Structure 1
């Protein structure tokens, strides 16, 4: 489970707790109604945040409709979700305003903790290790120093052929690589031989430019990755600016790149 997901659950738990505490002066049934209403608001807020994000990146999701339900890509428009949750609370409490205050106070506490967690995560990323100076190998088993890619934005993906989400997201990187040649998409295989990696790529018809071998999984250890696939985003100076654990969709990849790589022009799907 990623730190971002933990932060979301913590914010929801805090919101529920604060709502219960503020509602203590209300009758017992009203107190329970307040905490239940908050959870309903959180649910509809999440739904609205996801739908808002899908609308924002509709072109990408429309190309792969099943990716709309892949919420593991962490694609949410949180400001839309917050507005939807507030609107839901306002509507539900129009005839019972006594419930409005505890629920709104709970939502406010949750949002504040979420923003605070975001600030802490940004500070942690600033102190994160840079693009590591590891000697890996190409599929032809020629040595390559990983940090030699610095000087332009780098999307570093850690993968293995036995990993189902790794296999599913490979076409996303292939497409992005073709559309955005100014970014280095470096696919570092973890723990497998050149024969295994090459066999997988050929069987899937994938044409990826920068595929490297890391048979000892040193990159995972160096970057403290907790699982596969892991995608790390480095700026031109080789500084880690974002990280994603789990499968990426085209929408979430483009979103992260547009936010983290300031000079990068938005990627658009080629239209024929």
Structure 2
């Protein structure tokens, strides 16, 4: 599983943890009067909003240069760009401050926060287990636009980024310059741009019209790669370690920040110095 709707799994787990925190806090307040329940639930919601906003802002600050190049991508929260360790203390501090005059609300609020954190931690463990059991780099043979065969297995030994795309897919088109720049910035990784279901002439004309250049532009007329990897939509980007293990998957449009974060944190890649 790569995500829920347009949201990546990291984003979905953060949202689910926030929802559980709110529900548990409301349940813990059930013995109080209606006014107290409403006030307590409002405190939890405000604390969750403050925490999530801080987690997002901390991530944006961490990858500021990438977001500055495309400011609207700051709003693309589906990329999973949150720093929970920055957001959690802010959420707690906000809730404790708001309940300073109502100590009876603190225990339900803390129960909610604890439940949310526990769920988020369990989700991280589950995601790690899923990735360990994920299928490796598929043993498929694709084609270059000139008809030459290329075995995906030949790229083992290097970190591999497989992007599944099509020219008719708007988010695929938008993210391709981001991938082209990353190919230049991370020369030790292999970026495989695997087109799904289109003719060589269509693929070459599109890439040429966009002024893009990729080292490994591959054709997959029967969309075998989607079936082999379990991809559910386009674009999908898969990150494989040098030994062929799948270490991360992103469904939907990639922001530059999220791509660089994954390359550096999951594939341990260091960007090449940029020439002024």
- TM-score, normalised by the number of residues in structure 2: 0.94
Which residue is 1:68 aligned to? 74
Report the secondary structure of 1:24's partner residue: coil
SS of the aligned residue for 2:30 comes to helix
Alignment partner, residue 29 of structure 1: 35
Give the Å deviation of 1:64.
Answer: 1.6
Tell me, in whole angstroms, the C-alpha distance in 2 between the residues paired with 1:82 and 1:125.
Answer: 26
5 Å matches for 1:89-104? Answer: 89-104=95-110
Partners of 2:11 and 2:78 within 8 A in 1? no
Q: 1:270 aligns with which of 243, 260, 274?
A: 274
Q: Distance in 1 between matches of 2:20 and 2:73?
A: 30
Question: Which runs of 5 or more structure 2 residues have no equivalent in the other structure?
Answer: none
CA distance in 2, matches of 1:58, 1:269: 17
Aligned to 2:192: 186
- Which SS does the other structure have where 2:237 is aligned? strand
Where do 1:180-259 residues align within 5 Å?
Answer: 180-259=186-265
Give the whole-Å Cα distance in 2 for the aligned partners of 1:191 and 1:79. Answer: 42
- Give distance in 2, aligned partners of 1:5 and 1:235: 23
CA deviation vs aligned residue, 1:185-212 (integer Å, no higher than 9, x gap): 1110111111111111011000111111
Judge conservation of contact 2:192–2:218 (CA < 8 Å) in 1. yes
2:166 alignment partner, one of 160, 169, 172: 160
Residues in 1 aligned to 2:65 and 2:275: alpha-carbon distance in whole angstroms: 11
In 1, distance between residues paired with 2:86 and 2:28? 26
Taking the aligned partners of 1:270 and 1:169, their CA distance within structure 2 comes to: 21
Confirm whether residue 123 of structure 1 aligns to residue 137 of structure 2.
no
Q: Which residue of 1 aligns with 2:183?
A: 177
CA distance in structure 2 between the aligned counterparts of 1:195 and 1:3, rounded to whole angstroms = 35
**TM-score (structure 1 length as normaliser):** 0.95
Cα distance in structure 2, aligned partners of 1:81 and 1:128 = 30
In the other structure, the counterpart of 1:83 is 89
Aligned length: 270
SS of the aligned residue for 2:56 comes to: helix
Query: In the TM superposition, what is the alpha-carbon distance from 1:32 to its structure 2 partner?
Result: 2.1
Note the C-alpha offset of 1:25.
2.1
Pick the aligned partner of 1:261 from 263, 267, 271.
267
**CA offset at residue 4 of structure 1?**
3.5
Report deviation, 1:172: 0.7
- CA root-mean-square deviation: 1.4
Query: Can you list the C-alpha shifts for 1:3-41, whole angstroms capped at 9, x where unaligned?
Result: 444433332232122111211222221112212221221
Shift of 1:179: 1.2
Q: Hey, what's the Cα distance between the residues in 2 that align with 1:270 and 1:54?
A: 21
SS in structure 2 of the partner of residue 213 of structure 1: strand
Distance 1:68 1:199 in 2: 31
Change (3 A) 1:269 1:73: farther
Contact 2:11–2:77, Cα closer than 8 Å, also in 1:
no
Moved more, 31-40 or 112-121: 31-40
